[in-house]
Amino acid sequence: MVALIIGLIAGAVGYLVTTFWMHPILRYLDLRQQVLSDLIFYANVVNADRLNDEMKDRMWKRVEANRRHSADLTACLLGLPSWYKHWLKHRGHDPKDAANNLMGLSNTFDYRDADKRIERIKTALGFGTDVI
Domain contains 55: yes
Dihedral angle, C-alpha 76, 23, 127, 120, nearest 10 °: 10
- Phi, psi (deg, nearest 5) at residue 26: -65, -35
Question: Residue 52: what pLDDT?
Answer: 84
Residue 1 half-sphere exposure, CB side, CA atoms within 13 Å?
Answer: 0
Report if residue 99 sits inside a domain. Answer: yes
Per the structure, the complete domain to which residue 28 belongs is given by 23-124
Q: Is the pLDDT of residue 50 over 80?
A: no
Q: Please report, to the nearest 10 degrees, the dihedral formed by the alpha carbons of residues 87, 125, 16, 83 taken in order.
A: 20
pLDDT over 80 at 11, yes or no: yes
At 132 the pLDDT is 62
Average pLDDT, the chain: 91
Confirm whether 14 is domain-assigned.
Answer: no
The pLDDT confidence band at residue 51, using thresholds 50, 70 and 90, is confident
The count of structural domains within the chain is 1
User: If pLDDT is split at 50, 70 and 90, which confidence band does 48 have?
Assistant: confident
Higher local confidence (pLDDT), 111 or 69: 69
Taking the model in full, what pTM does it have? Answer: 0.85
Instruction: Answer yes or no: is 112 within a domain.
Output: yes
Please report whether residue 79 resides in a domain.
yes
In a domain, 41, yes or no: yes
pLDDT (tens digit per residue) in 115-127 = 999 999 999 999 9
What does the DSSP 8-state code read for residue 18?
I
Q: How many other C-beta atoms lie within 10 A of the C-beta of residue 1?
A: 5
